[in-house]
Structure 1
Amino acid sequence: MEIKELARLYKQYVINMRREFHKNPEASLKEFWTSGRIKGELDVMGIPWVSCAGTGIIATIEGMHEGKTIGLRADMDALEITEANEVEYKSQNDGIMHACGHDGHIAMLLGTAKILNECRDKIKGTVKLFFQPAEEIARGAKMMIDEGALNGVDGVFAIHLWSGLDVGKVSVEAGPRMAAADFFKIIIKGKSGHGSMPHQAIDAVVAGAACVMNLQSLVSREMNPLESVVISVGSFHSGTRNNIIANEALLEGTARCFNPKIRQEIPDVLERMVKNTAAGYRAEAELRYVEGTAPTINNVECSKLAASCVEKILSRDAVAETEKTTGGEDFSLFLEKAPGIIAFVGIRNEEKGTCYAHHHENFNMDEDALEIGTALYAQYAVDFLNSK
């Protein structure tokens, strides 16, 4: 039986598992029930596994013939969102929701485990199944890598179910697909005073506001206009009441780009701008910059292989192009260690109401996409292992 036929056979199993995970979402690094449920399914299949990165899991399927090793990854964590969908599998955990598709990723990888376990005679090498925690806080991939998950792995592959693509379409383009996602804090130090006598104080609010405005010019005036860069301040906290000039302000934001060289330059550029801006208002500024995820860059050869897999399980017309996104993905750390690709599998369907953005309280998916993703995971694994 071909892989796409097996994916069709296990379609309802994958849908049922997805709904079970959707009903029981857990936040990053707290995926205890999720982890236990996955282990239980792997035990039923007779697939050996080990724990990794706390709640993470590495399962191993050995083929009948020696060869390379491929790692297939699915992330497990949910988001701190209160679900607005009225469905039978609505989240039962208050304030937590699978609003990014990770429930589908887990279910598809379990369906893939069934397929590959049944097709071990066709597998030339080893398949590692990575059930990864804490993607939403950009910590899980690093934790798994630090514990040796990628030791001996020759290639990696992941799927992200994607609301920006219609169901039946798959994007496997080469090159940068998701941005580096870094974070920063700016602490402005001034001097308190009475609101009626600002000349006796150093206003942290005004200095902070000037920093926010001046940061906007970094992209438009210091970055190559052919490069995509985003610098956003999302939080500004200062002051205690209306007639006290604040002595401190805290700004928090994010920086996004696709070019690793630009990523290295941004902290110095930010620090120069905020220190000099604050000094213009007699204040002092401190920048605290934290690297999050690297750019997610798909390997050219792996992209070609993935496109051929999509043609096998669907058709040539199913291979779609979509814009790269400034959203971040810690699968990028896997791609720094081994050649691979992240595929975007479409879940959008206006007629079924699955047309909301990721991280929206009404996010949902056309579950027909789960059969496609399950088949793609399995087909890529087999074809990668059979390639020279």
Structure 2
Amino acid sequence: MTNNAFHDLLPAAKAIERELIDLRRKLHQNPELSFEETETSAMAAKLLNDLGLEVRRGIGGHGIVAELTGSRPGPRIALRADMDALPIQEETGLPYSSGIPGKMHACGHDAHTAILYGAAKLLSVRKDQLAGSVRFLFQSAEEINAGAKAMIEQGVLEDVDEIFGLHNLPTLPAGKAATRYGALMGSVDRFELTLTGKGGHGAMPDQCVDPIVAASAIVMSIQSAVSREISPFDPVVVTVGSIHGGASYNVIPERVELTGAVRTFSRNVQETMQLRLQRLISQSAEAYRCEAELRYVQQVPVLVNHNDHVRHVEDAIDHILGSDNRVEAKPVLAGEDFSVYLEHVPGCFFWLGSGPATGAEQAYGLHHPKFSVNEKCLSLGAAVLTAISIQRLGF
């Protein structure tokens, strides 16, 4: 593929930048939570229909699948964006802030939706450059790690040869991108634990079985699964995120509920964590005379990029942003259900800078109530996704 195939992409992307910004802001003002993205889906579907694409709605919740066929036969690649928002009260003070109390696009999925639409628009007028087809996946429910599985169950990866996706990163300046070979993001498992004892008066603990004391011991004991049972070269994080039990200062409750998450970069370690926690929890609960019921769900696997496809993405980034603006991504234990797609077909997921261009402004991280996107990333992201498509399907 020669540079001539890419020379007009950045100017073309800049020409639709205002449209992408307006779309992103409209989505930002109307955030919808996981599996509730009805208006978001309708808006995206109309825009895709207007491009002349073949559009299917209601896939894996409110997901959309749109097809663009090139001028010659060839492979099919997929490009994916997520659409859902978070249950967070926005605190940015922006004129286009969320208009729905308690809901916010605090992870930038509004930007992802606009970026993928931009790529669809840029590619729709370049069909004659494609030998093959592009499948655009607008996904529901990434935030609860359920949307990718639901989409796959409805066949979105049938006949797909490769898949690519991106996520904005506010700690990386707009105009830059970050890639990584191998594991980029961690697995995510969720656990829910119910401890049952015997309630009673706080003044008579000998007549009770206290699940709060048992819960305290368990929170500490399960950390030994990380510190004493797993190699320090295999990072694992076990987090207890909530404890609920009791309603009065002088009453020992009957029951305590805990929820938490387990994250790792190793598929082998992920497979062993449920049995480890089950053993530690059950033995600790027994020591405190409580009954323990553990519910453990493997949500998403480790996100592992495929080396050849990382190279393809890096080439596209270098053409659009310049090699000086491409950096190596650090691995993070945050989860992303794009990893489920990568278990089925090869591909690459990468970070797109969405932060301030200079260090003069403070960049709030993903899921922060003051999170915001540098909107210059919208046209750049669309151009990079378009370049990836042309590189993989060009003559």
Q: TM-score range by the shorter chain?
A: over 0.9
1:81 is aligned to 88
Counterpart of 2:154 (choices 138, 147, 152) is: 147
1:346 aligns with 2:360: no
Counterparts of 2:142 and 2:62 in 1: how far apart (Å)?
12
Q: Give structure 1 stretches of 5+ with no counterpart.
A: none
For structure 2, which runs of at least 5 residues remain unmatched after alignment? 1-6
Pair 1:22-2:32 in alignment: no
- Which of residues 65, 77, 93 is equivalent to 1:70? 77
Is 1:370–2:378 an aligned residue pair? yes
Shift of 1:2: 2.4
Aligned to 2:246: 239
Deviates more, 1:55-64 or 1:87-96: 87-96
Aligned to 2:387: 379
Query: 2: CA distance between counterparts of 1:6 and 1:336?
Result: 34
**Aligned partners of 1:119, 1:353: CA distance in 2, in Å?**
38
Task: Tell me which amino acid in the other structure corresponds to 1:31.
Answer: E
**Aligned position for 2:289:** 282
Which residue among 182, 187, 196 is the counterpart of 1:175?
182
Query: Counterparts of 1:8 and 1:174 in 2: how far apart (Å)?
Result: 30
| Per-residue deviation, residues 268-306 of structure 1 (Å, max 9, x unmatched) | 000000000111112221211011111111111101111
User: What is aligned with 1:360?
Assistant: 368
Rounded Cα–Cα distance in structure 2 between residues aligned with 1:113 and 1:265: 42
* Identity level (%): 37
Shift of 1:145: 0.4
Q: Secondary structure at the match of 2:68?
A: strand
Query: What is the 5 A alignment of 1:287-326?
Result: 287-326=294-333
Cα distance, 1:354 vs structure 2: 5.9
Measure the CA separation in 2 of the matches of 1:210 and 1:21: 45
Give the secondary-structure state (helix, strand or coil) at the position aligned to 2:343: helix
Partner of 2:132: 125
Q: Deviations over 1:228-263 (max 9, x none)?
A: 100010111112322222222111111111111110
Q: CA deviation at 1:385?
A: 2.2
Q: Distance in 2 between matches of 1:208 and 1:92?
A: 40
> For residues 54 and 234 of structure 1, do their structure 2 counterparts lie closer, same or farther at Cα, with a shift above 3 Å needed?
closer
Residue pair 2:129, 2:394 contacting (<8 A) in 1 also: no
Query: Residue 347 of structure 1 contacts residue 354 of structure 1 at CA under 8 Å; is this kept in 2?
Result: no
Match of 1:204 in 2: 211
Higher mean C-alpha deviation, range 81-90 or range 212-221: 81-90
SS in 1 for 2:262: strand
- 2:4 aligns to what? none
- Is 2:148 the partner of 1:138? no
Alignment of 1:152-167 (within 5 A): 152-167=159-174
Q: State TM-score, norm by structure 2.
A: 0.95
TM-score by length of 1: 0.97
> Aligned-residue CA RMSD in angstroms?
1.4
Matching residue within 31, 46, 51 for 2:37: 31
